[in-house]
Structure 1
Amino acid sequence: MNQLEGVPSPAPARMGAIAFDRRVPGLTGIVVKGFLLSLITFSIYRFWYITNLRRYFWSRTIVAGSPAEYLGNGKELFLGFLVALAILVPVYLVLFVIGLLSPVLAALAAPISFIGLFVLGQYALYRGRRYRASRTRWRGIRLGQDGSGFAYAGRASLWWLGTLLSLGLAFPFMRAALERYRIDHTLVGQSRMHSTATGRSILLPWMMFYIVGLLPILLSILALLAGTGFDIPSDLLIQDPASEKSKLIFNPAYEDTPLVYYASAIGIAASFSIPLALLLIPFYRARETRAFLNATHLGGARLISSLKARQFYFPYLVYMLAVIGFIIVLGIIFALLVPLIAQDGENAGIHAFIIVSTVLLYLGAILGTNVLYVRIITVRLWHAVATTMQIENLPALEAVLASTRAPASGLNEGLADALDVGGALEIGL
């Protein structure tokens, strides 16, 4: 007789759903208001615009029956941006003065500036995420992030150096290592999240992207270097004597050398690889997002994602078709204005009307594409990630205790905005 007969089996862990309502009433008004006020305030209002977008998307994301909250405000972001500028402007001035005073150091100013700003940008990315986490709340529980921005910047810089030296092969391992650092220092109340992300989990989608998008270009460049004995002539590209603009052309002196074929191979490889690589970006992003979400734990609770690559492709396809249709409409409107110029081209009033109409069409095109991008791409990607995600062992999440930890300063994200490495919304964790 089976000894387990009659013994009740353990109940399956209760699952928690994550939902996002793709019907987004009022979102167009937020985008239009944000665009117009940012325009007339010389982009100052964008901090409040970003805040309004985050509040909207956070509030419509329902985790286990309760909406998330975003507690940040535009004033914090604006003041953080001003403080960041007060730090960065003297740095730029010092580099500029050094370049003027020393011709030797002037040649080093550009690479030093690039490296310094890159490291600072990685620091800003981490600190910006800390700000967003500390301004996020769910069921009265505030999120947070500890860890060191300098440690993250150092790790990111070394990983990027390794990625460059490996010709891109280390990229998935870099992404996984940085993801682990971010998630392992993310706090939900008094509990800490944990990530088991590995580079192997995203190695296959990256290799597909790498082989199609990067490898042909790298091989053609290596062939060029080998063909020149790793000594490319400094006059391989010269200014076109037939053009008044600074247009570079291939030096005719090398037309009968193998360099022509190697250079042509690079051009041909790039013309095929770059478009194919662009087509694979949504595939890689979807696979990476799913892998990283599935590797995320909070105590006994964990995330389970069933995100498909097609859910990342469809928004971009719809957006492309919508933009094409929008451009056709603008083209028809502009075509209707052409007869006015032909009928009375010398009339000052007609000239003013045409100028004003052209400016309005230009601004309308930018506004229209912004609205389409947010409503089609951002909304659909957010919906895809949220609704394909579940929380395994929900009681473990519900047992999380709130924390009295103080929120982070707005300077955390101000530096990211000043360096243009921060985004209004980020899909995923």
Structure 2
Amino acid sequence: MDQLAGVPSQAGARTGEVAFDRKAPGLTGIVVKGFLLSLITFSIYRFWYITNLRRYFWSRTVVAGSPAEYLGNGKELFLGFLVALAILVPIYIVLFVIGLLSPVLAALAAPISFIGLFVLGQYALFRGRRYRASRTRWRGIRLGQDGSGFAYAGLASLWWLATFASLGLAFPFMRAALERYRIDHTLIGQSRMRSTATGRSILMPWMIFYIVALLPILLSVAALLAATGFDIPSDLLIQDPASENSKFIFNPAYEDSPLVSYASAVGIAASVSIPLALLLIPYYRARETRAFFNAASLGEARLASSLKARQFYFPYLVYMLAVIGFIIVLGIIAALLLPLIATDGENAGIQAFVIASSVLLYLGAILGTNVLYVRIITVRLWHAVATTMQIENLPALEAVLASTRAPASGLNEGLADALDVGGALEIGF
């Protein structure tokens, strides 16, 4: 689901509730089946797994008493992925050949490919959202998205350049600008949504994140660059000769120079700021989600979100505790297997049993964390976003006419999947 909020409400206009069943019966079976079939089909089944997840979450999201529908299918995603690979593989081959033929261009191959794939990734994100919108229906009304993927990619690229040039200060304005483009090109039936999202609405939570999580690292790196004349020695860090592992230490040749102190400051800043950044990400995401919901509208209908940051923190806390408990259980099982290895390591039957058990434990650990993630984090975040929203002026929404727009191609999301920039589920619109 996306965002629908924005304009002042009419007095006495009816409101609609958004509901989602957090118990999610049957979801574990979908995750287990999807994991196992993806495993034995070398990940091919994941397109059908993603489709099943979307159908589940869409159908249990009840908007004003009516559930949403997801109309996509796994075959569309798979074929779109294959077509996208047919486009991307020749690009990789050309870049590789250019690097072999010209040593001068070889040095440029990496940055050229990074920039090209970044722009292509932004294009794929927009087109993937178009596919999901065109495969979503509510009360017989199909959603859609128009607009240019190339225009969105260009806009996103320019905003990212501005964000890097401003050392991250332009980030909230970039997010708001891209949100406005997406929402302004979102169609529900024949009606167009609008967004009044602004960077100022999320500037305060971003500045909290920026000052605590990013600024110390930026300042320490700037000090290091200034101390080295913007030419950091390539051998400032060397492998520890006393250690067999890949452990790096500061080069003793620079021991008496201020470089070691500045580099140590970068390490200390990073060791403090990175954990703080991980703690503040849910806070920023919750505030941004609420602000963007409250900035979108469909004519006179809009969403009013009361989402709180704590509703984004609690799922991660529960997930962390659940994973710790799951690891303890696996550790106990592994400890029970150790005596078998120690007592009769020459017995072929016992060795085969231990190997099979180890493989099953490994697969069980991956499957278990996947199940926990979907059931705890995805379900709870989806529930938090859905149930904290209300549709204001519901009659205006009910007056929307069904669209005759043709559905988008599966290639739209296939490219996003091939570039690994599209997610199975998006929390939010």
Return the alpha-carbon distance in structure 1 between the equivalents of residues 11 and 29 of structure 2. 47
Return the alpha-carbon distance in structure 1 between the equivalents of residues 39 and 243 of structure 2. 37
Aligned-partner residue type, residue 106 of structure 1:
A
Tell me what 1:18 maps to. Answer: 18
Cα deviation code 1:83-104 (max 9, x no counterpart): 0000000000000111111111
Aligned-partner residue type, residue 97 of structure 1:
V
Percent identity between the two aligned chains: 90
1:65 shift after superposition: 0.6
Tell me what 2:290 maps to. Answer: 290
Cα deviation code 1:90-121 (max 9, x no counterpart): 00000011111111111100000000000000
RMSD across aligned positions (CA): 1.1
Tell me what 2:220 maps to. Answer: 220
Cα deviation code 1:50-70 (max 9, x no counterpart): 000000000000001100000
1:398 shift after superposition: 0.4
1:11 shift after superposition: 5.0
Aligned-partner residue type, residue 290 of structure 1:
R
Tell me what 2:169 maps to. Answer: 169
Tell me what 2:303 maps to. Answer: 303
What secondary structure does 1:72 align onto? coil
Tell me what 1:366 maps to. Answer: 366
| Deviation larger for 44-53 or 227-236 | 227-236
Cα deviation code 1:369-395 (max 9, x no counterpart): 000000000000000000000011001
Tell me what 1:401 maps to. Answer: 401
Aligned-partner residue type, residue 169 of structure 1:
L
Aligned-partner residue type, residue 291 of structure 2:
A
Tell me what 1:64 maps to. Answer: 64
Aligned-partner residue type, residue 343 of structure 1:
T
Return the alpha-carbon distance in structure 1 between the equivalents of residues 47 and 242 of structure 2. 47
| Deviation larger for 385-394 or 347-356 | 347-356
Tell me what 2:280 maps to. Answer: 280
Return the alpha-carbon distance in structure 2 between the equivalents of residues 247 and 123 of structure 1. 40
Return the alpha-carbon distance in structure 2 between the equivalents of residues 233 and 59 of structure 1. 57
Tell me what 1:193 maps to. Answer: 193
1:246 shift after superposition: 5.8
Mind listing any 5+ residue stretches in structure 2 that lack a counterpart?
1-9
Residue 28, structure 1, aligned to residue 28, structure 2: yes
What are the residue-to-residue correspondences of 1:15-414 with 2, within 5 Å?
A: 15-242=15-242, 248-414=248-414
Return the alpha-carbon distance in structure 2 between the equivalents of residues 347 and 75 of structure 1. 47
1:351 shift after superposition: 1.2
What secondary structure does 2:193 align onto? strand
Return the alpha-carbon distance in structure 2 between the equivalents of residues 336 and 233 of structure 1. 51
Return the alpha-carbon distance in structure 1 between the equivalents of residues 240 and 345 of structure 2. 37
Aligned-partner residue type, residue 26 of structure 1:
G
| Deviation larger for 349-358 or 410-419 | 349-358
Mind listing any 5+ residue stretches in structure 1 that lack a counterpart?
1-9
Greater relative contact order (CA < 8 Å, ≥ 6 in sequence): 2
Change (3 A) 1:336 1:244: closer
1:243 shift after superposition: 5.2
Tell me what 2:5 maps to. Answer: none
Tell me what 2:6 maps to. Answer: none
Aligned-partner residue type, residue 347 of structure 1:
N
1:235 shift after superposition: 2.5
1:230 shift after superposition: 2.2
1:245 shift after superposition: 6.3
Change (3 A) 1:345 1:329: same
Return the alpha-carbon distance in structure 1 between the equivalents of residues 246 and 314 of structure 2. 41
Cα deviation code 1:360-419 (max 9, x no counterpart): 000000000000000000000000000000011001000000011100000000000000
Cα deviation code 1:143-184 (max 9, x no counterpart): 000000000000001101110111111000000000000000
Cα deviation code 1:120-159 (max 9, x no counterpart): 0000000000000000000000000000000000000110
User: How many pairs are equivalent?
Assistant: 420
Return the alpha-carbon distance in structure 2 between the equivalents of residues 300 and 416 of structure 1. 33
Tell me what 1:4 maps to. Answer: none
Return the alpha-carbon distance in structure 2 between the equivalents of residues 425 and 239 of structure 1. 42
| Deviation larger for 415-424 or 345-354 | 345-354
Return the alpha-carbon distance in structure 2 between the equivalents of residues 319 and 278 of structure 1. 15
Return the alpha-carbon distance in structure 2 between the equivalents of residues 279 and 410 of structure 1. 36
Aligned-partner residue type, residue 383 of structure 2:
H
Aligned-partner residue type, residue 406 of structure 1:
A
What secondary structure does 1:249 align onto? strand
Return the alpha-carbon distance in structure 2 between the equivalents of residues 227 and 373 of structure 1. 45
Q: TM-score, normalised by structure 1?
A: 0.96
Return the alpha-carbon distance in structure 1 between the equivalents of residues 28 and 310 of structure 2. 25
Aligned-partner residue type, residue 37 of structure 2:
L
Tell me what 1:5 maps to. Answer: none
Aligned-partner residue type, residue 287 of structure 1:
R
Return the alpha-carbon distance in structure 1 between the equivalents of residues 420 and 231 of structure 2. 36
